[in-house]
Amino acid sequence: MLTIEDLHVNIGDKEVLRGINLQINDGETFILFGPNGSGKTSLLMTLMGFTGYEVTKGKIIFKGHDITEAPMYERARLGMGMSFQRPPTIHGLRTRHLVQMCARKGAVNPDMLAEIVNMGDFLDRDINAGFSGGEIKRSELLQLMAQQPDLVLFDEPESGVDMENMQLVGQVARDVLDGKFSVAPDLSLKERKEKVTTAGLIITHTGYILDYVNADRGQVLYHGHLCCEGRPRDILDHIRQHGYQECVRCMN
């Protein structure tokens, strides 16, 4: 699905990613840990193709295409989707309209999808205008459900979400990763699973999301380097016990 080779990224003069190598296979969910400022968000932004993240070395291969220099919309059209942490408000753009525009793979029913994430009342509001933390997450998921990406980039699905909403966000995040909205719903669960190749790259601080999604592998990003590959649960336990200090030792 995704191969990152020796990726170096600068923001202005500052190098924020220093030689990242990462492979995410079809159907796999990968968890990225790391302290604040370690470069996690920068990695996601670079993968999506935001301006200001300058790739100085290395490449990004997505579904067999070298997308290192590709514009953002090409990446999106190839099947990359992202849940934004702090999406902008766009005046006069109704959530309903945006959901419809996200659905490039075929028309969707915004009302039906909105009901799943409890966003029915927001469809006729301007996108993100006055949305709370939980509402932003649900709105981002709503757009992803319509978009049906093959690789989902999640930046901290649990931030700003209360416990009650966490359950909903976690469940739907899982459904998106399970390809529930992209594969014919008349197939049995088993058949669907075999067909689904949707992969995910998730940033988490708290690890709450691990209660919901089926994460295969994880790694810690520290000072722009990846280290400590392992099972996400184990990594989380380790960080809880020892903090990120261990990463310094680990890398040296």
Partner 1 sequence: MSKVDLKDFKFDGLKQEAITDLNALSDADKDQLLMAGVVSDLSTRSASYLQMDQSAVHCQSRNEAVEIMDIKDALKKYDGLKEYFWTLVDKDKDEFTRSAYDNLHGGYFIRVKAGAKIKEPIQSCLMLKSEHVGQNVHNLVIIEEGAEAHIITGCSVAHGTKAGAHLGISEFFVKKNASLTFTMVHNWSESVAVRPRSAGMVEEGGKFLNNYVLLKPVQDLQMYPAITLNGPDSVARFNSVVVATEGSHLDMGNRVIMNAPNTRCEIIARTIASGGTIINRGHIAAHHVPSKGHLECQGLILGGGRIWAIPELDGTVEGVELSHEASVGKIAQEEIEYLMARGMDEDEATSTIVRGFLNTDIMGLPERLQKEIDKQIEELQSSDAM
User: C-beta of 40: minimal distance to partner 1 in Å?
Assistant: 17
In the complex with partner 1, which residue's Cβ is closer, 71 or 243?
71
In the complex with partner 1, which residue's Cβ is closer, 61 or 90?
90
User: C-beta of 84: minimal distance to partner 1 in Å?
Assistant: 7
User: C-beta of 250: minimal distance to partner 1 in Å?
Assistant: 33
In the complex with partner 1, which residue's Cβ is closer, 36 or 51?
51
In the complex with partner 1, which residue's Cβ is closer, 55 or 90?
90
Q: Round to whole Å and give the CA distance between 38 and 44.
A: 12
Query: Pseudo-torsion of CA 32, 252, 239, 223, nearest 10°?
Result: -50
User: C-beta of 27: minimal distance to partner 1 in Å?
Assistant: 22
Instruction: Return residues touching partner 1 (CB under 8 A).
Output: 48, 50-51, 71-73, 76-77, 81-82, 84, 87-88, 90-94, 98, 101-102, 104, 126, 143, 147
User: C-beta of 246: minimal distance to partner 1 in Å?
Assistant: 34
In the complex with partner 1, which residue's Cβ is closer, 94 or 195?
94
User: C-beta of 73: minimal distance to partner 1 in Å?
Assistant: 5
Closest alpha carbon to 148 in 107, 90, 208, 96: 107
In the complex with partner 1, which residue's Cβ is closer, 84 or 192?
84
User: C-beta of 124: minimal distance to partner 1 in Å?
Assistant: 9
- CA angle, 7 then 54 then 160, to 5°: 85
Q: Over the chain, what HEC string results?
A: CEEEEEEEEEECCEEEEEEEEEEECCCCEEEEECCCCCCHHHHHHHHHCCCCCEEEEEEEEECCEECCCCCHHHHHHHCEEEECCCCCCCCCCEHHHHHHHHCCCCCCCHHHHHHHCCCHHHCCCECCCCCCHHHHHHHHHHHHHHHCCCEEEEECCCCCCCHHHHHHHHHHHHHHHCCCCCCCCCCCHHHHHHHCCCEEEEECCCCHHHHCCCCCEEEEEECCEEEEEECHHHHHHHHHHHCCHHHHHHHC
In the complex with partner 1, which residue's Cβ is closer, 19 or 87?
87
